[in-house]
Amino acid sequence: MIRVVDPLSELAAQLAPRPGRSAVRRIGFLSNEEEFMQTPLHFPRYTRILQKVLPERLGVSLQFHSEVKPVLSRPAEAEQLQSFAGCDGVVNGLAK
């Protein structure tokens, strides 16, 4: 059975409160893909761009924590998710 989720309805009510710009200090990146240097578009490369741009845009010094899921087609394990506990926000992605 496939369950289609509309992020504008069910999940919108479950989103965590967003911190203000000045409260953001640590951002995590959880990649759904390994880094392939021969591919021009991949999430790890995109995160490196964000690591340069976000401190300038937000006007604050930021720390970054990046990890790649060990099994890319499955949800991240609880231990791996726990490593993001100190982050003010986490971006999970795939850039295809």
pLDDT means per 10 residues, the chain with 96 residues, are 58 66 89 74 87 91 92 85 91 81
Alpha-carbon gap, residue 42 to 35, rounded angstroms: 7
Q: Are 87 and 28 in contact (CB under 8 A)?
A: yes
Q: What is the pLDDT of residue 15?
A: 65
- With a CB cutoff of 8 Å and minimum separation 6, the contacts of 58 are 21, 24
Per-residue b or e along 58-69, where b marks 16 or more CB atoms closer than 10 Å to that residue's CB: eeeeeeeebebb
Q: Is 68 helix (H, G, I), strand (E, B) or coil?
A: strand
Structure tokens at 88: 């003010």
Q: What is the pLDDT of residue 28?
A: 95
